[in-house]
């Protein structure tokens, strides 16, 4: 079978080794005579999957014991509501740094729950950059500061994080979690939809400082209460069992590859190949993000005109590439090079970009 050269922004590529192992176990997981999607979430087999997945994630990201790991549903979009519902304290405000569409949506949902304000924004330059720490205006009494660490649509990424805040730092890491080491003590809560760097769609990872669980009021609906999910070990209701199983396989793959430090080296190398093709093109390709804010996960760029863009995308698809169209809100082109995108596929794309430029 000829595999596509997959650069989709999400759901995105999965490691071929993961897909092969899942295919092998699809009808008979560890000799139990059932596939994972058929297992009871109360069975010993699935409880072992659930715990192993948490332990793998804790080891890979060096998550301290005073943080809880939750596997939830509803994607990052549900976390836009759950975060303020659980963490926004009465009489206080939540602060948001706007760096793109998803942070805008997070702020909008928080404002439905309580007072939420903009602490900094790069909207004035069409989200081409990440605000500096000195630009962030956050009040000491804020319940938390929210950031989106990687912006898939605009191709920007935080390369360092605010330190020494008087309030918890909350981060949407849906599109760059597991791509670099993290200092977890800098964060109060991290959330990430799995469908970019962790696995298939269907499961959302939440990593929360245990002290923050005390903010979850008993009057919250149970399904929207972090404390309830923590107490039930993410088994309050039927979890997305197959997605958690795939998450486990991806984490096993990452561990075998050499862990997060190795994944970071790979992402730096892959992104450098594509940015080099852009920077050496004498303006034929123009990157959207300012250089110091460039994402290593989503490389966004435009060509000189719409006709060239159409031709580029058409020829790319004919050559086996998929997912290179820019987001409908900004147009242009975008190559998403998450952890599972092989280096050889990125090399082929860089060669294609250079070849297309020389022919046009």
CATH of the domain at 64: 3.40.640.10
The predicted pLDDT at position 330 comes to 84
Please check whether residue 233 lies inside any domain of the structure: yes
Q: What are phi and psi of 357, to 5 degrees?
A: -65, -45
Task: Flag whether the pTM goes above 0.95.
Answer: yes
- How far CA 196 is from CA of 164, 200, 244, in Å, comes to 30, 8, 14
SS3 181: coil
Domain boundary among 227, 256, 285: 256
> Is the domain of 142 the same as that of 273?
no
pLDDT score recorded for residue 331: 86
The answer to whether position 185 is within a domain reads yes
List, for residues 282-297, the tens digit of each pLDDT value. 999 999 999 999 999 9
Structural domain contains residue 6: no
What DSSP assignment string belongs to 107-150?
HHHHHHHS-EEEEEE-GGGTS-S---GGG----TT-SEEEEESE
- Rounded Cα distance between 260 and 179, Å, is 6
The Cα 280–Cα 175 span in angstroms is: 27
Catalytic residue IDs: 102, 172, 196
Same domain, 125 and 57: yes
Same domain, 190 and 280: no
| Residue 4 covered by a domain | no
284 and 350 in a single domain? The answer is: yes
Q: What's the mean per-residue pLDDT of the chain? A: 97
The whole-number pLDDT of residue 56 equals: 98
- 347 within 8 A of 273, measured Cβ to Cβ: yes
Let me know: does 312 contact 298? Beta carbons within 8 Å: no
Concatenating the DSSP letter of every residue in 58-72 gives HHHTT--TTEEEEEE
144 shares a domain with 42: yes
Same domain, 265 and 195: no
Mark whether 90 and 126 lie in a shared domain: yes
pLDDT at position 212: 98
The proportion of the chain whose per-residue pLDDT surpasses 70, expressed as a percent, equals: 100
Q: Do 283 and 231 sit in the same domain of this protein?
A: no
Say yes or no: 134 and 268 in one domain: no
What is the span of the domain harbouring residue 51? 16-256
339 and 309 fall within a common domain: yes
The residues, any chain, with a CB within 8 Å of residue 201's CB and separated by 6 or more, are: 10, 11, 75, 193, 194, 195, 243
Contacts of 19 (CB under 8 A, 6+ apart): none
The count of domains in the chain is: 2
pLDDT of amino acid 192 = 98
pLDDT mean for each 10 residues of the chain (360 residues): 93 97 96 95 96 98 98 98 97 97 98 97 96 91 97 97 93 98 97 98 98 97 98 97 98 98 98 98 97 98 96 98 92 96 98 98
Looking at 256, 285, 307, which one is the last position of a domain? 256
Same domain, 112 and 210: yes
Determine which helix (DSSP H) or strand (DSSP E) holds 307, and give its type and residue range: helix 306-318
Q: What is the CATH number of the domain that holds 354?
A: 3.90.1150.10
* Per-residue confidence (pLDDT) for residue 205, from 0 to 100: 98
Among 240, 256, 272, the domain-final residue is 256
8 assigned to some structural domain? no
Residue 290 placed within a domain: yes
Whether residues 227 and 167 share a domain: the answer is yes
Q: Tokens representing 168?
A: 């918890």
Q: What's the pLDDT tens digit per position in 33-83?
A: 999 999 999 999 999 999 999 999 999 999 999 999 999 999 999 999 999
Cα dist. 93→144, 164, 167, 207, 271 in Å?
Answer: 8, 19, 11, 22, 37
Q: Report pLDDT for 81.
A: 98
């Amino acid at each position: 079978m000829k595999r596509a050269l997959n650069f989709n922004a999400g759901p995105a590529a999965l490691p071929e080794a993961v897909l092969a192992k899942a295919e092998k176990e699809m009808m008979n997981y560890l000799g139990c005579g059932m596939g994972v999607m058929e297992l009871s979430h109360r069975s010993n087999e699935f409880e072992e999957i659930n715990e192993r997945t948490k332990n793998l994630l804790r080891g890979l990201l060096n998550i301290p014991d005073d943080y809880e790991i939750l596997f939830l549903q509803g994607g990052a979009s549900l976390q836009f509501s759950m975060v303020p519902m659980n963490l926004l304290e009465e009489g206080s405000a939540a602060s948001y740094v706007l760096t793109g569409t998803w942070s805008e949506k997070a702020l909008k949902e928080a404002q439905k729950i309580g007072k939420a304000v903009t602490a900094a924004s790069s909207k004035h330059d069409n989200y081409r950059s990440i605000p500096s720490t000195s630009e962030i205006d956050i009040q000491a009494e804020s319940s938390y500061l929210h950031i989106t660490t990687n912006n898939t649509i605009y191709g920007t990424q935080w390369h360092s994080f605010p330190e020494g805040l008087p309030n918890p730092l909350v981060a949407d890491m849906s599109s760059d979690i597991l791509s670099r080491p993290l200092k977890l003590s800098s964060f109060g809560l991290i959330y990430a939809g799995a469908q970019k760097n962790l696995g298939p769609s269907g499961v959302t990872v939440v990593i929360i400082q245990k002290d923050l669980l005390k903010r979850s009021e008993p009057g919250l609906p149970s399904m929207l209460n972090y404390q309830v999910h923590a107490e039930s070990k993410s088994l309050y209701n039927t979890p997305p069992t197959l997605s958690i199983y795939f998450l486990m396989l991806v984490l096993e793959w990452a561990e075998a590859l050499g862990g997060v430090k190795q994944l970071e080296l790979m992402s730096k190398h892959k992104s450098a190949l594509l940015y080099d093709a852009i920077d050496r093109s004498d303006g034929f390709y123009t990157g959207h993000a300012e250089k110091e804010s460039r994402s290593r996960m989503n490389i966004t760029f435009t060509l000189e005109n719409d006709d060239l863009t159409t031709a580029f995308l058409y020829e790319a698809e004919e050559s086996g590439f998929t997912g290179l169209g820019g987001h409908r809100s900004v147009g242009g082109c975008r190559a998403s090079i998450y952890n599972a995108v092989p280096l050889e596929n990125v090399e082929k794309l860089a060669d294609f970009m250079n070849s297309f430029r020389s022919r046009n």
